[in-house]
Chains A and B, each alone.
Chain A
């Protein structure tokens, strides 16, 4: 966590604790039950899910086309985001185009496909800078893009969540879906890394 959003986080954390205490005092929920619900949700939320979606898209052109046309429906084919009210849009990196995801208003993010968000994603610095100077921010992540690359920053300002479909690494022609999935990192799914 950076110092920039420390105050906001502390305020929210205090409110959440207060709400939790009230709910317990009124007998509406127990701490144990709350922990179970959080654990169950997190158990289903992992970057391994997003990686599996990407590996399928790399190995199945028809799936890739469906994924780019309607991300929500395509990830549900693999059993993800069932019951979620959110839409998913998958944006594809190419040789000339790079995509990166942010939420400048808070820290929205496709949690079920990416797992809990990294602290830098929630930081004031990332959120304010990536929309303004993405090339520099990506360079700080160690991603140097060729000068002509068209960078698109997707700011998750409403109910759609974004997932980046990274470029398949060269020399991976012989690999199967599981081996390919193991190559996919969370940062690549956000767009702050290439593979």
Chain B
């Protein structure tokens, strides 16, 4: 298999020879920048998940990225193929979670738990 996918000659060597200390990894930009209005997924998976029931299908605002980790929904099942995803601190207003209250709740949520909230009318 060693010669099945030859590297492009102008890509491999220069990266190894001159690593750029300012850019240690070529990570994709975060999908949800701070301030993005998001909505959490609604479904109730049959397996382990870190999206608590009380925060499903709820609207919140991204505070900031917390750093990438393996998706716990997969890794908790003993599988070695868990994707690494960005985790975001997401801030929820109590009334969006419970219909009442004036406090906030912040949860750390994997990217695939979230979708952008198109409704901008809040």
B103 touches A134 (CB 8 A): yes
B109 touches A131 (CB 8 A): no
Please tell me if B101 contacts chain A, counting CB pairs below 8 Å. Answer: yes
A104 touches B69 (CB 8 A): no
Hey, which chain B residues are within 8 Å of A150, CB to CB? 102-104
B69 touches A158 (CB 8 A): yes
Please tell me if B74 contacts chain A, counting CB pairs below 8 Å. Answer: no
By DSSP majority rule, is chain B's interface helix, strand, loop, or mixed? strand
Hey, which chain B residues are within 8 Å of A153, CB to CB? 103-106
Partner among A89, A135, A156, A157 whose Cβ is within 8 Å of the Cβ of B103: A135
Q: Which of B20-28, B31-39, B49-57 forms part of the interface with chain A? A: B49-57
Hey, which chain B residues are within 8 Å of A87, CB to CB? 66-67
Q: How far is the CA of A134 from the CA of B72 in the complex (A)?
A: 28
Partner among B72, B94, B101, B105 whose Cβ is within 8 Å of the Cβ of A155: B105
B69 touches A131 (CB 8 A): no
A160 touches B66 (CB 8 A): yes
A131 touches B105 (CB 8 A): yes
B103 touches A152 (CB 8 A): yes
Given known A-B contacts A87-B67, A104-B52, A104-B54, A156 and B108 have beta carbons under 8 A apart: yes
A157 touches B105 (CB 8 A): no
Please tell me if A133 contacts chain B, counting CB pairs below 8 Å. Answer: yes
Q: How far is the CA of A133 from the CA of B69 in the complex (A)?
A: 31
Q: How far is the CA of A160 from the CA of B108 in the complex (A)?
A: 8
Q: How far is the CA of A154 from the CA of B91 in the complex (A)?
A: 9
Partner among A105, A152, A159, A160 whose Cβ is within 8 Å of the Cβ of B105: A152
